[in-house]
Amino acid sequence: MTVTAKAAILPVVSGLFSIEELVLPEPSDDELLVKVAGCGICHTDVKVSLGYANVPLPVVLGHEGSGTVLAAGAHCGDFQEGDHVIMTFPSCGHCVSCREQHPAYCDIGQELCFACRRPERAHPGRSQGETIHGAFFGQSSFSTHALVSARNAVKVNKDLPLPSLGPLGCGFQTGAGAVLNVLQPPPGESLAVFGAGNVGLSAIMAARIADMGPVIALDINEERLALAKMLGATDVINLTIEKYPVEAIHQLSGGKGVRYSLDTTNRPEVIRQAFEGLGNRGTCIHSGGGGKDFTFPGSHLLHGRTVTGVIQGDSNPRVFIPQLLDYFSQGQFPFDRLLNFYPLEEINRALEEMEKGSVVKPVLRMS
């Protein structure tokens, strides 16, 4: 079945999104046609709108979608019309990383996310049928409808709040996975989280689940730090006030430095602080988006310390997202406290307020 969708289209780099109609083709054998209920806005969407990854334009972005299956291709396994799904990142399913259950490191993951190779057919009334690119992260869910590979869809229970669930497919599993999948800390280990946005706050909630402590949140936004305390941080450091955060981390961790740190900022000076705040044999995770070079003091590295990069929290979404939903149902992972909703038509306002830091995770509601 074809469907006419209303979508937010990015026409040019650094441009405003416009809301227009598109005609989506029928799903292929391995695709689902999804009526989107909600879609989170991620900083990767912002970076791409500013030119990152040279995504072809005009394009429909969005990669934290959730919705209801309207149609399923012949080779989509047990997916069927009416299923509720979260759409997450794509992977090939065949390379070594995929076979070993680490699809975030798929050999062709970057291409599947950013090449936007499957074009959507434009509504005949727009620019004489100009091609609008889709398949961003395998979904392009800044739209009332999306085509998504069955591989990057996760079926969820119908009693869950569907418009709220999309950010579990990227931002929330990234932060939580950095702790629960990568670090896998024993109880009582210490953690410093640099950046109290949606990824950092998800990591803090996961640290509480893992019974870590102390858990130190560092940010420049006092409201975010207050939220971090409510969600599980034992201590907070305001980087606009504290001029020596590394020394402060050492003081809060008994003079030894923390066992683990997480950078979500992608700022070279901040990730260096995250590394220097480590104790002996500590691990620093960088999950801030990449694209920049970092330097570290070699003498500090010698004492068994490690720096590693992480994509998508090294998650296997079909395993990890249901785990996070179980934690949510038990009140242990209250990600809904991070959400602010906007109608699709107000996407530019949502982006503006996100960039100002006045909201943690904006979600576009498609109704």
Query: 213-243, pLDDT tens digit by residue?
Result: 999 999 999 999 999 999 999 999 999 999 9
Q: Is the pLDDT of residue 128 over 50?
A: no
3-state secondary structure of 143: strand
Lowest mean pLDDT among 51-60, 122-131, 194-203: 122-131
What average pLDDT does range 110-126 have in this prediction? Answer: 69
Query: 296-310, pLDDT tens digit by residue?
Result: 888 888 899 999 999
The pLDDT of residue 83: 98
Type of residue found at 36 = V
Query: 248-274, pLDDT tens digit by residue?
Result: 999 999 999 999 999 999 999 999 999
Residue 136 gets which letter from DSSP? G
3-state secondary structure of 216: strand
Q: What percentage of the chain has pLDDT greater than the value 90?
A: 89
Residue 351 gets which letter from DSSP? H
pLDDT class for 119, splitting at 50, 70, 90?
A: low
Tokens (6 digits) for 257: 């430095």
Q: Is the pLDDT of residue 150 over 50?
A: yes
Residue with tokens 């418009």: 163
Backbone angles phi, psi at 192, to 5 degrees: -115, 130
Mean per-residue pLDDT over the chain, rounded: 94
Matching fold, domains 3-169+334-365 and 174-311: no
Domain ranges of the chain: 3-169+334-365, 174-311
| Class of CATH domain 174-311 | alpha beta
Handedness of CA 51, 54, 60, 64 (dihedral sign): negative
What is the CATH number that goes with domain 3-169+334-365?
3.90.180.10
Residue with tokens 């900022």: 265
